[in-house]
Structure 1
Amino acid sequence: MVKTKHFDLTGKVALLTGASKGMGRAMAEAFAAHGASVVISSRKQDQLDEAAAEINKSCGAQRVHAVAANAGRKEELEALVERTRRDVGPIDIVVGNAGVNIFYGPISEIPDEAYEKTMKTNVQANLWLARLVVPDMIDKGSGSMMFTASVGAYKPSSTLGLYGTSKLTLIGLVRNLALEYGPKGVRVNAICPGIVKTDFAKALWDNPEAEERANSQIPMRRLGEPDDFGGLAVFLASDSSSYMTGQALTVCGGTYMWS
């Protein structure tokens, strides 16, 4: 048996937004299983408490803490970061997984309010989060941030154009943060899922047409599952990816291998 510390997160503190269910929860569970102390956040405390209890039971330790916050509100992000520091410790790992998609239709017809909320939550809020946590990482000379983008960033859409635009902008943000924070030992990467079977994306996969596309067009012949992202998150959080930053990692079963 080969002994390795490549994926050991013991002693690390991870903070995740959008983590009461779906991909965020799967990442939190993987972090806890690899030894990290984890703070999960979303808007609803009851869902967070349930998720934290189940993950702690699974890993056999009280490693996961639940703190409700709306990731699209700066003051709530500030309170979330401060409570994480106070109750758990300085932050080593951040996952910005919270996002919204509130408009379905041509981007040329989007109301200003919907545009502003989408860009604020999917882009600006992640910049706020990065700024809030980076002092802890700079003090240690190391740290890892990862933000959930989308394969929607890679092509235009007649119905999800603004969502894709926000995620392409998020990738641009990730690259600029990687450039600025790299000399200080902090890495920043994006994760770009294809269609994943989460509640957030249910309208895209819960129909016969989506199943047919999965069975005929996706090289892996299935849709994504939240658990497909736990290992990737641990890799990005750990020293195993210590020379990787500014990347947009596509996890889509091969659908976008040509992009």
Structure 2
Amino acid sequence: MSTPEDLVKLDDFKNIFSLKGKVAVISGGSRGLGLHTASGEGPLNDAAKALNALTNKSPDARAIAIVADISSQAGCTQMAAEISKTTDHVDILVANAGATFIGHMDEYKEDDFDRVMKMNVSSIFFSAQKLSPLLQAGGTVQDPSRIIMVSSVAGVVVGDMGEHRTYAYAASKAAVIHLMKNLAVELGPKHITVNVVAPGMVPSQMSAPLMNRHGGIESVSKQAPDQKLGSPEDVAGVMVFLSSRASKHINGATIVLDGGSYLVRGCA
């Protein structure tokens, strides 16, 4: 029989956000990955070196770069095979590959649309499919494995982009959210939770052209209720939360990370 103390007891709460000992796979770690695989090897290796050089990481933590064309099912199979050479399980999959095309509706070609959908939707599905055995090997009822898909606020609302609409990108990011819901139901019983992070404008190489068209960082910042843009730290914080024991009972959720901008800038 439970005592009053048992009802309020928190299990190792001081370490609830700890990721110590976890194995994480982050796809899309290099710009153009899946589109220009060979040229992506350098940036991937550079990213791994930078992570391994961090002074505040655990001594036994290390980053490994794996080059694969995840825009295809065969490429995802190759990725999973390479990962299996270094670990017998995966705790966290962050599906972060992305591509976009900006232009008037009449300017789109079939290849433009298909390329975005393959990178932004197909790559996520087949990454989850091929890594599912490794994720199942790492998950338990009390500490499930995690799949975190990166969508966008563009998949949540329709913003006013004028002549610079991102039809394929917006459609793909909305598809990611609904894909997440389906996989959350499918994989939940297998001790894998699936959630989405939908960032708004975060300064990056991909967002720079669109941000410039809207007056730059200062102008875009003023459109948000909290009067600022997201930062890498904001994104990392949500990722750590969703990867940690603190989120073990969250499944099928979309976290919009844009300071509330989506509430005022567009229509659902």
Instruction: Name the TM tier (shorter chain).
Output: 0.7 to 0.9
CA offset digits 1:82-139 (Å, max 9, x no partner): 1112113411100110011034222x65222222221111111111011111112223
TM-score, normalised on structure 1?
Answer: 0.83
Cα gap change, 1:243 to 1:43, in 2 (>3 Å): farther
TM-superposed deviation, 1:155: 2.7
Decide which of 65, 88, 110 is 1:112's aligned counterpart.
110
1:199 aligned to which of 205, 219, 223: 205
Q: Percent identity?
A: 27
Tell me by how many angstroms 1:148 deviates: 0.7
**2:155 counterpart residue number:** 153
Please name the residue that 2:184 is paired with. Answer: 178
Unaligned runs of 5+ in 2: 1-11, 32-36
Following the alignment from structure 1 to structure 2, what is the Cα–Cα distance between the partners of residues 112 and 42?
25
| Aligned-CA RMSD value | 2.3
User: Could you tell me which residue of structure 1 aligns to residue 43 of structure 2?
Assistant: 47
The alignment partner of 1:152 has SS state of: helix
The one of 10, 15, 18 equivalent to 1:5 is: 15
Name the residue aligned to 1:38.
none
SS in 2 for 1:249: strand
Q: Which runs of 5+ in 1 are unaligned?
A: 22-40
Distance 1:162 1:113, change over 3 A: same
- Radius of gyration: which is bigger? 2
Q: Which moved more, 1:117-126 or 1:241-250?
A: 117-126
Distance 1:231 1:186 in 2: 20
130-139 vs 145-154, which moves further: 130-139
Equivalent pairs, count: 238
Hey, which bits of structure 1, 4+ residues long, moved more than 4 A? none
CA distance in 2, matches of 1:171, 1:65: 28
Give the distance between the partners of 1:67 and 1:43, measured in 2 at CA. Answer: 13
- After TM superposition, give the deviation of residue 70 of structure 1 in Å: 2.3
Match among 211, 224, 242 for residue 230 of structure 2: 224
Indicate if the aligned counterparts of 2:26 and 2:93 stay in contact, CA closer than 8 A.
yes
Higher deviation after alignment, 132-141 or 142-151: 132-141
Q: Structure 2 length normalisation: TM-score?
A: 0.81
Instruction: Give the SS at the match of 2:97.
Output: coil
How far the C-alpha of 1:10 sits from its partner, in A, is 1.9
